[in-house]
Structure 1
Amino acid sequence: MPGLLLQPAWTLSFCAATAAAGAVAMLILLTAGDPVAAKGEEEVLLLRQDSLLRFGPWYLALALFWILQLAVSCQAVVVAGAAAHWYFDRGRCPRWGAPCASVWRLVRYHLGSVVLGSLLEALARMLRLACRLAGRRCRRQGKAACCLCACACRMLRRAQVPQQERLDTARRASALCLLSWAAAARGYGLCRAAREAWQLLSRNALRVATVNCVGDFVLLLAKGAVVAGTVLVGHRLIQDKSGQLSWGEWAPLCTAGLGALLVAHCFLSVYEMTLDTIFICFCRQCEDAQRGGAPAMPPALAAFVEKSGEVAPPTSRQ
């Protein structure tokens, strides 16, 4: 499915354009206001902002978080839907058919669920940011009421961490797999698909972790190789011009390394999402096989997991 490799390029371009537009809009909001002459000998004009302009940057930040998270979630759903479609219908779907069908199912069936999930995650991130800023301001003042407010904000931030992890897991499991080909066929909603995906992962935690850890380690090595190769090539190109650089050679090398890490993460996330989706589908097929259904897993995948000792041989399931 070569069409999946185009998804990170579209997502990265959209996120870059959105971030640039958001930065321009933020500058406009921060420098807007009614000019008011300040009292003093010199003529100084100050910008007085009303309540709408004071809270405008927060609204804009929430909208930016929402739009960026929506773009990433749409990419994840498209990739997982195409992977699940290939898993259940491999041999019958063309190379470009699965990504196109996944985009169509996203727009027709799951766009509302993705919008709701991205909005909840954006609200959670904004609430954590507001609690962090409020805690810092309260600790600086040193009053008793402010200390209590800071403690409450810290407890709220700690309580949101497992909830956000559950939301990420539900989004990756339900909106990435069960809200894909199988969920579309059954007509599941966001809550039911998330509940079923969470139960599926809980029942097969060891089975998924057996191969998922290896996949994550390989992807981490791939990201490190991309960053190391970029830094080495950049060092070779600028080693003769290091004396002409005002900040030395490490500033452009660090910038190039961060850019390479971002690009590698965007493109390798396709493989990570595909790997997670395939193993969730694999666990679903294992449960169907135990109930007497026909397994649709590849023989090589079943043999590899059987060697780990977590999956029984196919003869014992019948």
Structure 2
Amino acid sequence: MGDPRLLLYPTDSDGNICGVGDKADKPYLFFFDFLDCAKVGMAILSTGCPTPQVCVSACPTGYWQWYTLYAQELGTGSQSSSGRAKMICKNNLDAATSSETVKALVESDTCAAYYMDSSSVVGRCIPSASSGVLNANDCRIQHSTSFLLHRYLGYLLNAQSYGEQILADVRSSWWLILSFIVLGTLVTFIWIALMRWLAGIIVWFTIFAFVGLFGFATYYTFNKWLTMKDNPDNQGTITFSTSLDYYTNLADTWLALGIISAVFLGIMLLILLFLRKRIKIAIALIKEASRGTSSMIFTLFWPLVPFLLQIIVLTYWAASAIYLASVGNKTYGQSNVTYVNETVNGVVKTQKYITEVISSIPCSPDNTTAGDICSFVKYGGEYTLYLQIFQLFMWLWVMNFIVALSQMVLAGAFASYYWAFKKPQDLPLFPVSASVWRSFRYHTGSLAFGALIIAIIQMIRIGLEYLDRKLKGYDNAFVKFVMACLKCCFWCLEKFMKFINKNAYIMIAVYGKNFCTSALNAFQLIIRNIVRVAVVDKISDIIIFFGKLVVTAAVTVLAFYFFSGELASAIPTSSISDYVTNYTPELNFYLVPVIIIGIATFVIASAFFSVFSMGVDTLFLCFLEDLERNDGSPEKPYYMNKELMNILGKKNRKPGEKKKGCCGR
């Protein structure tokens, strides 16, 4: 029932599509008063632009305004056919044959009051840079609105110019951009492979760096306080001030900073004293995750599959939304327009004001109240809104299903790695493919149910955002408080449920039970080991963040030096320097490819490190299960690696060997 052309092609005030059907010879849309579109702001989405719009065969060239023609006809006492031929009017009206005055044609919005040299932007006639400066007395536009119009036009023209230059830069350097993106992918692979050796260095360096930083901050701030506390010039109470020197000259400021630094230093020292064994466990699990990804190299490529699936689903949803948006009858928005005679520089001019935008009153362009404008807004009916809501909810559900599938497949692969007694000899031949088969064959319902929970929460959050926008006009503190609380609570609920779902998928991959049972088991297992969970989660976050930072920064900095030309000048060998210079393109903005490379590298690194993060989470839950299910006996041996067993002081006993220690412990 929908027609995407209704949205892709411009539509005039009567709902006619420019360049289609009867308007096939008029593919461009002309606005009578382009400034009116900016005056209404965001209301344009519900009422359309409150100025008449007509389809034209070509965008106007040159500058024309009605007052000069009106004065000419008053002076001669007769109509000017050549002057009226330049007028742009609605409904194919020929102004040259009309008996009405030019002023009447303009004030009835039958013809445009002015136009400027314009160019086509997505089928719309937009004033171009050669339009010149509008006179404050011309075109029924006040001085302030004339300035506003040129400010908006300046933004538009500058954006268009910059856009063309940026596009030219991308076209001339696209193959170099792809080369740096490939380089970023290789660096990510290498970094993940090196994690088995670098994990401990990164974690301990980060912790000791924090200790050193807060230790120095504590010493420095308390030392400053001791030197200032007896000086009368540095006494006083801390009050609000925009001057930074005011705070730095107060002894109490340094005392407060010293206390804060000492508190953080104490927290870091307590972590080192009481959680060092758990930090070692986290480091060992991270190293094991790196070994797992090296043994199952296809896990690193698996994120491409859900990414492509999400692109397909997004494309289908966007196409459906476009078709639904073009279903239904034409809807119009009404705007009240008032004309007032004002004296400007001794001359009486007719000024135009949009006094109110009314979207709730139905109107028809064939039957409008005098002084009002009835413009086409969109196609649609009330029932299409419910279809759009349904489409949005289903899109959220399917997208979350794909995320759940991705997590379960990785969980199944890493679980098969952990529960292989001899690694990697006992690892299945195709662990990723086997996990995909199990997920689709046995766990589709669990994936759908978990995704449904997240989709419902996200839909509620979208509804709250919609209500919040609708209530912005009401200055009610209680309503704002309630909305803020609801938005915060549902944000926290979404984060919590995503955490529960991910761990539930891990337990499903291990035991094969249903979603609710697995979620309960995972939650209870986490609660029984809450300190270990907190430490491992934060340590893995540090490792992943540091990895993304290193990979992205390394590739982006290299790209910056290459495209800026500094790399060629820094190379001592002339032949290599000349080679690099020859392949460095001439760009308008050399930061454009650098920014694109940086963003693309970060996205790629995030995708690969998401596999690493899922591997750590899966191995950690398997490790906790291993501790609770097994005791190191020949009947129940531990599946963890020797490094983890050494940290915990455990080992797998040989047949006939008894546990060491008192009372068989």
TM-score (norm 1): 0.83
Distance 1:257 1:273 in 2: 24
Query: Which residue in 1 is equivalent to 2:320?
Result: 25
Structure number with higher strand proportion: 2
Specify the code of the residue in structure 2 equivalent to 1:112.
Answer: G
The correspondence for 1:127, drawn from 449, 457, 460, is 460
Closer/same/farther in 2, CA of residues 25 and 206 from structure 1, 3 Å limit: same
The correspondence for 1:199, drawn from 504, 509, 524, is 524
Match runs of 1:30-179 below 5 Å:
30-35=325-330, 38-39=365-366, 40=368, 45-91=376-422, 93-94=426-427, 96-142=429-475, 150-175=480-505, 177-179=506-508
Distance 2:391 2:378 in 1: 20
The alpha carbon displacement at 1:59 in A equals 2.4
Out of 220-229 and 282-291, give the one that drifted further: 282-291
Distance 2:563 2:389 in 1: 42
Aligned residues: 302
Deviations 1:45-103 (A, max 9, x none): 45342122223333222222222211111011000111111211244544543222211
Deviations 1:145-180 (A, max 9, x none): xx65554433322332343233112211111x2101
Specify the code of the residue in structure 2 equivalent to 1:38.
Answer: P
Which structure's CA Rg is the greater one?
2
Closer/same/farther in 2, CA of residues 4 and 203 from structure 1, 3 Å limit: same
Query: Which residue in 1 is equivalent to 2:642?
Result: 299
Distance 2:519 2:404 in 1: 15
Distance 1:46 1:168 in 2: 40
Distance 2:482 2:489 in 1: 10
Distance 1:302 1:265 in 2: 31
Specify the code of the residue in structure 2 equivalent to 1:285.
Answer: D
Identity %: 20
Runs of at least 4 residues off by over 6 Å? none
Out of 199-208 and 273-282, give the one that drifted further: 199-208
Q: What secondary structure does 1:10 align onto?
A: helix
The answer on whether the counterparts of 2:330 and 2:380 sit within 8 Å (CA) in structure 1 is no
The answer on whether the counterparts of 1:3 and 1:96 sit within 8 Å (CA) in structure 2 is no
Deviations 1:3-62 (A, max 9, x none): 212211111222223223333333333344323653459995453421222233332222
The gaps in structure 2 that reach 5 residues or longer are: 1-295, 332-363, 566-583, 652-659
Query: Which residue in 2 is equivalent to 1:259?
Result: 600
Q: What secondary structure does 1:38 align onto?
A: coil
The alpha carbon displacement at 1:127 in A equals 0.8
The answer on whether the counterparts of 1:2 and 1:96 sit within 8 Å (CA) in structure 2 is no
Distance 2:521 2:527 in 1: 10
The answer on whether the counterparts of 2:416 and 2:428 sit within 8 Å (CA) in structure 1 is no
Closer/same/farther in 2, CA of residues 136 and 157 from structure 1, 3 Å limit: same
Aligned-CA RMSD value: 2.9
Distance 2:389 2:591 in 1: 35
Match runs of 1:176-187 below 5 Å:
177-181=506-510, 183-184=511-512
Specify the code of the residue in structure 2 equivalent to 1:166.
Answer: F
Distance 2:297 2:601 in 1: 21
The answer on whether the counterparts of 1:26 and 1:57 sit within 8 Å (CA) in structure 2 is yes
TM-score (norm 2): 0.42
Specify the code of the residue in structure 2 equivalent to 1:18.
Answer: V
Structure number with higher helix proportion: 1
